[in-house]
Amino acid sequence: MKAMLKSALLTFALVGFTGLSAPGYAAENPALWKYQVKGDFDTVLASLKTGLEVRQFQITGEENMSKGLENNKKVFGEDKWNTIGFQNVTVVHFCSTVFNQEVYNLSMDLAILCPFKAVVYNMKAKPDQITIMTTRPTYLVAKGDRKAREAGKKIENRIVTAIKESVQP
């Protein structure tokens, strides 16, 4: 379980801090859940945050990763800081005290699930195509006991539902 968590955390860190992604979770990376919508980046991001709060999640942090990387392009090089062509990448951290309490009472190893993170990004080539992705809790607890798997499924379903309902056109 520890090796699986380390691997998932590494993937999550790479995704969250670089904006890299796979085309979908099922075949390319089962640890990720992705959802795409058309719209304005700032509007989708605001809708996501409001929608998460309406659905009883608390926003615990937000990082504008694209701005941070752009501010450091002198470190990476003018032609190397954004070779993939992202336009905006923002990471939203969110939590649920109900889910925290539930997983903490199962095992402190499950504390790694909270807070949750959604990465919201678009690409310069398709600025109105906004992608939202998160690490799937069910993937992180797949090798756990029945109660951990049930908690992971409940958490994932609530996150996925909240995201989808939040950013509907």
d(CA 145, CA 131): 32
94-118 per-position pLDDT tens digit: 999 999 999 999 999 888 888 999 9
4-48 per-position pLDDT tens digit: 333 333 333 334 333 333 333 445 899 999 999 999 999 999 999
Number of domains comprising the chain: 1
- Residue 158 is part of a domain; what is its CATH number? 3.30.310.70
Answer for the pair 130, 121: CB distance below 8 angstroms, yes or no: yes
DSSP character string of 86-142: EEEEEEEEEE-HHHHHHHHTT-GGGGGG-SEEEEEEEETTEEEEEEEEEE-HHHHTT
Residue type at 128 in one-letter notation: D
The pTM (predicted TM-score) of the whole model is: 0.80
Answer for the pair 20, 122: CB distance below 8 angstroms, yes or no: no
- Give residue 155's domain range: 2-166
Give the count of beta carbons closer than 10 Å to the beta carbon of residue 142: 16
